């Protein structure tokens, strides 16, 4: 039997609502979290492009501030996105969102967070929000959003499972960011800053294994690059495939054909988020190709998880040696040069194949490229494995939690599945 439901507003003991107008900001101070910092893919708010408030504004302008364990709930732009407030609280919240505090007598706080993020409640919010240009969910409609209320032990199980899954996904994300930063730092030292060669010129002690150290030139040439390394172009060093959108009737959501990626909106942290398929692909990227957004915006990067169809907003790049890591990080350090075409003078910024292939870079020895690939291969393999695990965990979360909330699946039956997933 399905559990009873209660209105959202009846489950709250307090709501932090700081007016619907812009907060005074400062150049330094406490971060001001805006709606762009709240995502259902992150446990806590991120600090992306934050502004700041000074101490006087923090103390006097706001009606209240979130406390650890509160849930930040977005009202405008992408209604329903939510994130937990960490301990300690190192930010304040801007307009177009509220921080809600669960009434512990009526609902388990961790369960409420899981329920709000569940596909079931997210779909209800999507149906209830108003506005076409900028969707928003009115605080006054909280009483219309009904939250299923299973027995307390079931709530606690759901809350604990959701927390465990989200924390593991978050751990994988942070690990991936660290691994990518490490691989990027090695690339920068070897191929951008010319660190080993500069150390040799300055007479500093070797900091790499002898077999690696010996492959770096001992001198810089008159142009300031390692002796023997050549100035080259993208077209000379990489294979470049520009995307071309296939006929619209070949797109589908049923999984027929290859995954299809049209542009930046399909990109995730490292790999694209699958949105559509194409049954008659025109241009194809191979597994581990670097994918570059070439139209509005220009220069964002991802990597092909598998063979995929690429539309006109994407290019696929692969070094002539075939490795993935050297290509990915080469494109990262070429991003400023690629992104300059965002202001190309047309309505939409774009870079074409000729322009892309003419971009200049320094080409090291092939032995060093192969060695770099071998050095970062384990890191890139771990990023892929973490990403795959996170997708499995997210699928388990999105499948199980609504069924547990509705009573369709019992806790006893779910425990084994959860144990296998975690």
* Residue 16 sits in the same domain as residue 125: yes
Decide which of 130, 149, 168 is a domain's last residue: 149
* Residue 36 sits in the same domain as residue 139: yes
* Residue 129 sits in the same domain as residue 239: no
Spatial contact of 168 and 421, defined as CB atoms under 8 Å apart: no
* pTM reported for the whole predicted model: 0.85
Spatial contact of 20 and 134, defined as CB atoms under 8 Å apart: no
Spatial contact of 296 and 348, defined as CB atoms under 8 Å apart: yes
In a domain, residue 84? The reply is yes
Give the pLDDT confidence score for residue 349 in this predicted structure.
85
Ranking 157-161, 182-186, 296-300 by mean pLDDT, the lowest is: 296-300
* Residue 18 sits in the same domain as residue 138: yes
Decide which of 334, 361, 388 is a domain's last residue: 361
CA 350 to CA 140: how far, in whole Å? Answer: 44
* Residue 142 sits in the same domain as residue 263: no
CA 332 to CA 125: how far, in whole Å? Answer: 38
Give the pLDDT confidence score for residue 371 in this predicted structure.
96
* Residue 114 sits in the same domain as residue 25: yes
Spatial contact of 133 and 9, defined as CB atoms under 8 Å apart: no
CA 318 to CA 198: how far, in whole Å? Answer: 29
In a domain, residue 276? The reply is yes
Decide which of 361, 382, 408 is a domain's last residue: 361
Q: Which band of pLDDT confidence, cut at 50, 70 and 90, is reported for residue 396?
A: confident
Q: What is the DSSP string of 17-34?
A: ---SSPPP-BSSSEEEE-
- In the chain, what is the straight-line distance between the N-terminal and C-terminal CA atoms, in Å? 28
* Residue 23 sits in the same domain as residue 123: yes
In a domain, residue 114? The reply is yes
Spatial contact of 98 and 15, defined as CB atoms under 8 Å apart: yes
In a domain, residue 407? The reply is no
Percent of the chain as helix, strand, coil, to the nearest 5: 40, 20, 35
In a domain, residue 386? The reply is no
Token duo for residue 176? 């991936």
C-alpha dihedral over 278, 280, 286, 290, to 10 degrees? -50
Q: Residues 254-300: pLDDT tens digits?
A: 889 999 998 878 888 899 987 799 999 999 999 999 999 999 789 99
Beta pairing partners, 71 = 84, 100
CATH assignment of the domain containing 342: 3.90.220.20
List of E strands, 125-190: 146-149
Give the pLDDT confidence score for residue 89 in this predicted structure.
95
Give the pLDDT confidence score for residue 194 in this predicted structure.
98
Q: Is 197 helix (H, G, I), strand (E, B) or coil?
A: helix
CA 197 to CA 9: how far, in whole Å? Answer: 64
Q: What is the DSSP string of 324-360?
A: SHHHHHHHHHHHHHHHGGGGSSSSS-B--HHHHHH-E
Per-residue buried b or exposed e for 215-237, using 16+ beta carbons within 10 Å of the residue's own CB:
bbbeebeeeebbeebeeeebeeb
Residue 17 sits in which domain range?
4-149
Give the pLDDT confidence score for residue 409 in this predicted structure.
77
* Residue 15 sits in the same domain as residue 132: yes
Give the pLDDT confidence score for residue 200 in this predicted structure.
97
* Separation of CA 218 from chain center: 40
In a domain, residue 185? The reply is no
- Total domains, the chain: 2
In a domain, residue 392? The reply is no
pLDDT of 129 above 70: yes
39, containing H or E segment: none
Q: Residues 320-346: pLDDT tens digits?
A: 998 899 999 999 999 999 999 987 655
* Residue 8 sits in the same domain as residue 112: yes
* Residue 234 sits in the same domain as residue 352: yes
Give the pLDDT confidence score for residue 135 in this predicted structure.
84
In a domain, residue 162? The reply is no
């Amino acid at each position: 039997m399905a559990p009873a439901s209660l209105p959202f507003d009846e489950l709250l003991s307090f709501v932090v609502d700081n007016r619907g107008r812009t907060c005074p900001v400062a150049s330094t101070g406490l971060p001001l979290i805006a709606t762009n910092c709240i995502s259902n893919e992150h446990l806590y708010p991120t600090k992306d492009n934050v502004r700041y408030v000074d101490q006087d504004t923090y103390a006097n302008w706001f009606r209240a501030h979130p406390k650890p364990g509160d849930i930040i709930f977005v009202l405008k732009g992408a209604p329903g996105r939510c994130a937990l407030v960490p301990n300690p609280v190192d930010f304040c919240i801007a307009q177009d969102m509220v921080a809600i505090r669960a009434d512990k007598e009526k609902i388990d706080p961790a369960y409420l967070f899981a329920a709000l993020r569940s596909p079931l409640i997210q779909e209800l919010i999507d149906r209830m929000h108003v506005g076409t240009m900028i969707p928003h969910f009115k605080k006054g409609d909280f009483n219309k959003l009904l939250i299923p209320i299973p027995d307390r032990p079931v709530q606690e199980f759901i809350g604990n499972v959701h927390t465990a899954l989200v924390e593991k996904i978050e751990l994988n994300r942070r690990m991936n960011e660290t691994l990518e930063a490490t691989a990027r730092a090695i690339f920068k030292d070897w191929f951008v800053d010319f660190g080993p060669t500069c150390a040799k010129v300055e007479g500093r002690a070797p900091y790499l294994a002898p077999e690696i150290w010996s492959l770096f030139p001992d001198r810089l040439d008159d142009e300031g690059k390692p002796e023997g390394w050549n100035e080259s172009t993208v077209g000379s060093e990489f294979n470049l495939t520009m995307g071309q959108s296939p006929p619209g009737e070949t797109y589908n959501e049923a999984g027929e054909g290859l995954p299809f990626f049209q542009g930046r909106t399909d990109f995730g942290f490292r790999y694209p988020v699958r949105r559509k398929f194409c049954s008659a692909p025109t241009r194809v990227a191979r597994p581990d190709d670097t994918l570059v957004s070439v139209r509005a915006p220009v220069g964002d990067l991802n990597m092909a998880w598998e063979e995929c169809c690429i539309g006109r907003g994407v290019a696929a790049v692969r070094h002539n040696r075939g490795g993935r890591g050297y290509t990915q990080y080469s494109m990262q350090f070429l991003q400023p040069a690629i992104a300059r075409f965002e202001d190309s003078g047309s309505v939409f910024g774009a870079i074409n194949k000729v322009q892309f292939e003419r971009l200049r870079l320094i080409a090291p020895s092939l032995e060093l490229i192969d060695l770099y690939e071998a050095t970062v291969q384990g890191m890139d393999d771990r990023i892929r494995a973490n990403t795959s695990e996170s997708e499995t965990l997210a699928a388990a979360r999105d499948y199980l939690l609504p069924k547990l909330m509705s009573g369709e699946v019992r806790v006893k039956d779910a425990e084994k599945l959860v144990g296998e997933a975690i």
